[in-house]
Chains A and B, each alone.
Chain A
């Protein structure tokens, strides 16, 4: 039974060896010029400023929660759209129920003023 896994074991060993070779060659032959830019955490990104423990408005938290809620909605839409024809009318009703439930949450968030930025 364990023989079935030999292919995977070989793959893992080979992957490690190849990775070590690639890093090792770069270390051996690559030029090494130390600059301030090069040692920054995000070399090609924004320049980080200030400490990481700054206070953030708690409103971001609310926005993040709402984002997740409606983001997941879209995640469900995609597979549904792909098999839409096979599902037929049933799939359409099912999705309508799903959206209706989310809509309840949306109306609630709206009326409670969660979408306003004061």
Chain B
């Protein structure tokens, strides 16, 4: 083990030490002044982001090939760190207002981010599993953070039970892959398949089980049952972080594992992924139509978006299309993360104590009373639907283009049709805001305003200059292969 090993993990190590130190420092910060903890947490994330960006263009492997550093991991890590900062921006005022002001909140977010970053850098199935646990366990605690509120406790327990169940699938899949190839390192799996020493049936079953486990994590149909309940019950700021962070990390691991280790299984797995993606888009969007609670609506919308991102996996078998589709997947994750934090931010602004202000009817009259907030929400709803001028449209465009280049026109058509369906429920929120009369109560909180304002501006501005971001994503992927 040499110094260069630690270099590949430097941002992660710094963040881990920072999170541990924050846990201790927070003990000495008196109650009611937890703003300092939040500030320190953001500072740690910013420092880590700086170190991550300094690694831009670097590549290498460390710890006997268990950890990898490449453009892909740097891109995903940067996205995760920005997500965590946005999450803290949303959370600071919210936890204070809801009486949840405990310093552990921020340490837990930091611990979870370390797991997500490890997931992006994992080059060995054992590390993938380790990272999965590291990112999940703080999220279980965060979901139940509004204890003793029954909804929140229920969300935490449900998330824990189903998460543990999903982790079981992943481990069993890893065990079968190990049994088939005699290796857990992604590169060794590929060479075992190339040398024809692997038991292919066992390998396919193992890969499918890993897919099931991660299907739970990213909330793909038919493994989505927990999502609405957990997203609704968890404190809203946690939901925002969970919806973006866990999804980004889960998809990063899936993208790396499937396009690196299992491309030879494409013939067998592509139909499964096709069906999974199509099913997720259709079911997620159709179930969202009948929702009246904004948190449940956004939960079903996040399921539907998992379906869109899953499209990026479908052409993972063909070498030429693979890099474009993975880049499109990464780009869509950025678009989704920005829009996601923005829309949850608006939800937080309108949420009152005891879970009031969460019905769509509570948004009536928002356009008149709080024009800026309503305008931001309109941008996010348009972006989630995929209507210009927003990042959501550009993301969908790249995705559909990549899928069609891979020869899956049918899937692209399903994507377009389900987007049309989704317009119905997204635009219903917009219509309620502008065309119904009402007296909504929204909160003016500087960091919250800053977060939804920033994401709204970013969603629009990046949609006019998407090529820079897409080029970055493409380069990230080119270095992966």
Contacts and interface: CB of A to CB of B under 8 A. Distances in A.
A107 B1 contact: no
Q: Please name the 7 residue pairs, one residue from A and one from B, whose CB atoms are nearest each other, closest first.
A: A111-B27, A104-B20, A108-B23, A107-B24, A104-B24, A104-B23, A101-B20
B1 A108 contact: no
A43 B1 CA distance: 56
A107 B107 CA distance: 15
A90 B3 CA distance: 13
Interface residues of B, number: 5
Interface in A1-47: none
- Number of chain A interface residues as a range: under 10
A112 interface: yes
Contacts, number: 12
Contacts of A108: 23-24, 27
Contact of B1 (A90, A104, A111): A90
Contacts of A107: 24, 27
A78 to B, nearest CB: 22
Interface of A: 90, 101, 104, 107-108, 111-112
Interface of B: 1, 20, 23-24, 27
A111 B25 CA distance: 11
Contacts of B23: 104, 108
Given A104-B23, A107-B24, 10 more contacts: A90-B1, A101-B20, A104-B20, A104-B24, A107-B27, A108-B23, A108-B24, A108-B27, A111-B27, A112-B27
Nearest to B26: A108
A101 B24 CA distance: 11
A90 B23 CA distance: 27
Contacts of B24: 104, 107-108
A90 B5 CA distance: 14
Nearest to A111: B27
A91 B279 CA distance: 50
B443 to A, nearest CB: 31
